[in-house]
Amino acid sequence: MVGLVLVLAASLAQAAATSVAIGFDTDNNSATGCTLTLGSRTLPGLEVALTTEVTTTASTGTVGTITRRACTGGGFGAAVTVSPGGWPVGMATGLGGSDLIETFLPLADLGSTTAARIGAITAGDSLSASNLFYPFGLPSAVAVPIPALSPTGLLILLVLVGGSGWLMRRYARPGGQLMLVLCVVASALTTVSALAFVADGSGIDWNGIAPLGQDNQGDAPAGQDLVALYAATDGAKLALRIDMVLARDAANQAPVVNAGANQAVTLPAAATLAGTATDDGQPTPAHLTTTWSLVSGPSANVVFGNSAIPATSATFSAPGLYTLRMTADDGALSTTSDMQVTVSDAAPVFLAVPDRTIALGTRYQQLLVASDANVGDTLSYALPTAPTGAALSPSPLIDWTPTAAQLGPNTFTATVADTAGHTATTTFHVTVEHTNQAPQLAPQVNVILPVGAAFSRTLQATDPDAGDTLTFALVSGPAGMTLTGGVLNWPTAGVAPGDAAVTVSVTDAGGLTDSKPFTVTLTPAAPGPVARDDQYQVQLGETLTIPAAGVLGNDTAFSGNPLSATKLTDPDKGTLNALNADGGFNYTAPATLPPVTGLNPVVEWRWGLGTNGAFVLAADFNHDQVVEHVSSDFGNFRAWRGSDGAQLWQLDRSIKTHADISGCGTAWEQFALGDVAGDGDIYLFSSINCDQLGYAGFPDRLFAVNASQVSGGKVAARWLSPRLSQPHPGAYATATSSEPANPPITPSFAASANGSVPTLARLTADGATKLITRFLARSDYGYYYDTPYSNHLAYAACRTVTGLPADEGRPCKATFVIDAATGAID
């Protein structure tokens, strides 16, 4: 006999979700297999574990995914889905009113078991002693009591029987009706057998089947409390039923909130709020929040100490009746409670004014300050008692300059009133004394001037004693500086640059003095400002606004004086709305660009290029204000008139008036056009091979053609440059030579100027036009025989370009600068 142990385990995943785990010992040996651990309980010897997920609400339950795990190598493997579930749980339809869960396992997953034991274990502490095993016999030909047909099975059987009768009547042949009936009946019986156990939570299919084991109900928490276990074979699967008490998702109740009793306060006092809030802890996890808010009142300026806690404070800025609301929210439901606070107004409060003693002639100013907790109140100030000449100017500033008749103490009484008529009063004294006070010389700022600019300054001073005579003096200063009355003058022409220290003073009739120093810094005469061009971009139709310093940002004022911008002309496109002196401006671009004369393309003529005529350039060769076109077909240069496409000229190599290229090979496809002398004549420049055998070869020279000097439809070369490659003194002419060649020969070259489009440029502002081209020398470039009577090759590489021994074998990219008028290599 091979033993089977079925172990049931339940664990609460969360309030409304439960996982039911079932273990199988298929060899009836607890010493083999894997161990199932549930809480503090374990069950060894399992070969298969089955897990069924169940979710519940307050009144319903649903069977979820069913998965199986097999024990391999002492551990359970990955979960394999047996069924996605989806059928209901029989809520309270199980044994003793428990909940009925139906699940299953294919018999093939249990191997060839023919007899078994079955038991149950849970992880709940209340089931710590429930480790019982129950016998359950399975004969080799498993027999299951025939249950009553489920409604679904009965319906299928009726349909099949009725259908068979109709088929017999319509199609059956003599002698064939019996076979048809037998087939239909067999099909019906097979269908009924397959649907014997219907997972619907009703428990009807389990009528007449006794539980394999039972446990006391209520000895474990909901979601862990096992009640009974059933099992029966159902065709090719083992049907299982677990009765247990599942956890319900309790219905959420709204929070209970109380904002507290109504209150009355007087400004600026704060109301003490004592709200309370309770909740049932649902939904889980429990999360109750409270919030205080203003419902109504004469002012929205209510400040809560902490609006998120029940017990807090509230301060007000205006009197009146306020309704405050406390809201409690558990995440799903919320409840509110209101309370009222009656806020009364209070009289304003004066900030005390201290008594003071001032000298005769001193201006007395005192700001009256009062506070009112009602921020909406308007305060009015008055001076019912004050010495002559004192006034609120402007209110609430007391302004008074005492006279000689007001020596001694002077009494001030000030009042303040709010709009409700509440008042406050303050009294203070100002004693006037006759005391001579020193004059005050105005601050003397340093100044920077260029040599030659005249310095002049008018000195200013004040004296608290009215009527005092003030006298200015030049205490110290540079040679040539004079003071006339209160005016300083210093002509700086011929004075050396540098700092000149100056000290001036003022003295009153009583002999009191105030002096201040300053410095005059003379700088060398500065050049004028330098303006630099500016560029800005803006989309068509849009307005560009540039703030200060704008166009002045890149300009220079050597004098140190501020720069200013002035418009000289308007832009040729768009509108300059404003140009400020600080450099900022506002410009609106035109909606569209004005048409450009001559740019209205129309196809006038066509011509085809040669096999190597991929490079085509354009220029006005014959000065007729019409663009001509030139192309190269392996150095066969031709130009066509832009007006009608007729050939204007062709390069004739046989003409040797200025340069001889008649024996040269290929002129490669890269070429350039440009005005060399500034006279309007267009020159053509290209690389050419004149030094290697064969027509193709690689170019090692450049040549030029005056393409504007046409004679009989022909143009000729103006100059041919020297070779770009340098001779090598260590090169042997052939593999059998005994001595290096004399004169030295140039190593074999390849690529050289090929692939570099000649470029025209002036390298200095007023310099001559230069032709710039690149020469590429790899490390395997410029091979030559380096040993007598040998076939051994060496590579000059960059030395082929520079002729320098240090560049032997070194790769490089060299740029040649060639005089565009003569072809000489600079």
Instruction: Tell me what pLDDT residue 180 has.
Output: 29
User: pTM score, two decimals?
Assistant: 0.33
Half-sphere exposure of 184 (CA within 13 A, CB side): 19
Instruction: Answer whether 398's CB lies under 8 Å from 390's CB.
Output: yes
Calpha distance 52→11 (Å, rounded)? 11
pLDDT over threshold 80, residue 168: no
Instruction: Tell me what pLDDT residue 224 has.
Output: 79
pLDDT band at 652 (very low <50, low <70, confident <90, very high): very high
pLDDT over threshold 80, residue 788: yes
Instruction: Answer whether 127's CB lies under 8 Å from 121's CB.
Output: yes
Mean pLDDT of 577-583: 95
- Name the more confident of 174 and 603: 603
pLDDT band at 746 (very low <50, low <70, confident <90, very high): confident
pLDDT band at 176 (very low <50, low <70, confident <90, very high): very low
Mean pLDDT of 491-503: 94
Mean pLDDT of 230-246: 89
Could you tell me the sign of the dihedral formed by the alpha carbons of 372, 378, 384, 388, in that order? Answer: positive
End-to-end C-alpha distance for the chain, whole angstroms: 107
Calpha distance 377→386 (Å, rounded)? 26
Give percent of the chain with pLDDT exceeding 90: 46
Calpha distance 126→129 (Å, rounded)? 8
pLDDT band at 380 (very low <50, low <70, confident <90, very high): very high
Instruction: Tell me what pLDDT residue 758 has.
Output: 84
Mean pLDDT of 649-677: 87
Instruction: Tell me the pLDDT tens digit for each residue of 13-63.
Output: 344 678 888 888 878 887 888 988 766 667 778 888 889 999 988 789 999
Instruction: Tell me what pLDDT residue 30 has.
Output: 78
Instruction: Tell me what pLDDT residue 689 has.
Output: 82
| CA 138 distance to own-chain centroid | 68
Mean pLDDT of 299-306: 88
- Name the more confident of 276 and 164: 276
pLDDT band at 133 (very low <50, low <70, confident <90, very high): very low
Bridge partners, 578 (sequence order): 586
Calpha distance 5→24 (Å, rounded)? 5
**Residue 162: partners with Cβ closer than 8 Å, 6 or more residues away:** none
406-416 b/e (C-beta count within 10 Å ≥ 16 → b): beeebebebbb
Instruction: Tell me what pLDDT residue 394 has.
Output: 94
- Name the more confident of 246 and 545: 545
Instruction: Tell me the pLDDT tens digit for each residue of 435-459.
Output: 888 999 999 999 999 888 899 999 9
pLDDT band at 612 (very low <50, low <70, confident <90, very high): low
User: Which CA distances in Å does 762 have to 4, 757, 823?
Assistant: 100, 17, 15
Mean pLDDT of 309-331: 93
- Name the more confident of 175 and 166: 166
From the number of C-beta atoms within 10 Å of its C-beta (0-12, 13-18, 19+), residue 270 rates as: middle
Instruction: Tell me what pLDDT residue 651 has.
Output: 93
Q: Compute the mean pLDDT over every residue in the chain, rounded to the nearest whole number.
A: 83
Token pair in block for residue 707: 């393409």
Write out the E strands in 150-235: 213-214, 225-234
Calpha distance 770→761 (Å, rounded)? 5
pLDDT band at 599 (very low <50, low <70, confident <90, very high): low
Mean pLDDT of 379-391: 95
Sequence-distant contacts of 514-517: CB under 8 A, at least 24 apart? 514/438, 514/439, 514/440, 514/441, 514/461, 515/441, 515/475, 516/441, 516/443, 516/444, 517/444
pLDDT band at 286 (very low <50, low <70, confident <90, very high): confident
From the number of C-beta atoms within 10 Å of its C-beta (0-12, 13-18, 19+), residue 39 rates as: middle
Smallest CA-to-CA distance from 661 within 621, 604, 705, 611 is with: 705
Of 72-76, 164-168, 393-397, 452-456, the one with minimum mean pLDDT is 164-168
- Name the more confident of 318 and 598: 318
| CA 441 distance to own-chain centroid | 58
Instruction: Answer whether 41's CB lies under 8 Å from 232's CB.
Output: no
Instruction: Tell me what pLDDT residue 174 has.
Output: 37
Mean pLDDT of 198-227: 86
Of 279-293, 556-570, 694-708, the one with minimum mean pLDDT is 694-708
Q: Tell how strand 783-785 and strand 793-795 pair up.
A: antiparallel
- Name the more confident of 388 and 604: 388
- Name the more confident of 131 and 731: 731
pLDDT over threshold 70, residue 602: no
Mean pLDDT of 716-736: 90
Calpha distance 101→122 (Å, rounded)? 16
Calpha distance 237→110 (Å, rounded)? 10
Mean pLDDT of 705-734: 91
Instruction: Tell me what pLDDT residue 124 has.
Output: 58
pLDDT over threshold 80, residue 694: no
3-state SS of 49-95 is EEEEEEEECCCCEEEEEEEEEEEECCEECCCEEEECCCCECECCCCH
From the number of C-beta atoms within 10 Å of its C-beta (0-12, 13-18, 19+), residue 421 rates as: exposed
Instruction: Tell me what pLDDT residue 170 has.
Output: 47
Instruction: Answer whether 257's CB lies under 8 Å from 326's CB.
Output: yes
Q: Residue 582 corresponds to which amino acid?
A: D
523-538 b/e (C-beta count within 10 Å ≥ 16 → b): eeeeeeeeeeeeeeee
pLDDT band at 766 (very low <50, low <70, confident <90, very high): confident
pLDDT band at 160 (very low <50, low <70, confident <90, very high): very low
CA diameter of the chain: 155
Q: Tell how strand 116-120 and strand 498-507 pair up.
A: unpaired
pLDDT over threshold 60, residue 162: no
Helix (H) or strand (E) holding 156: helix 151-171
Smallest CA-to-CA distance from 334 within 288, 389, 286 is with: 288
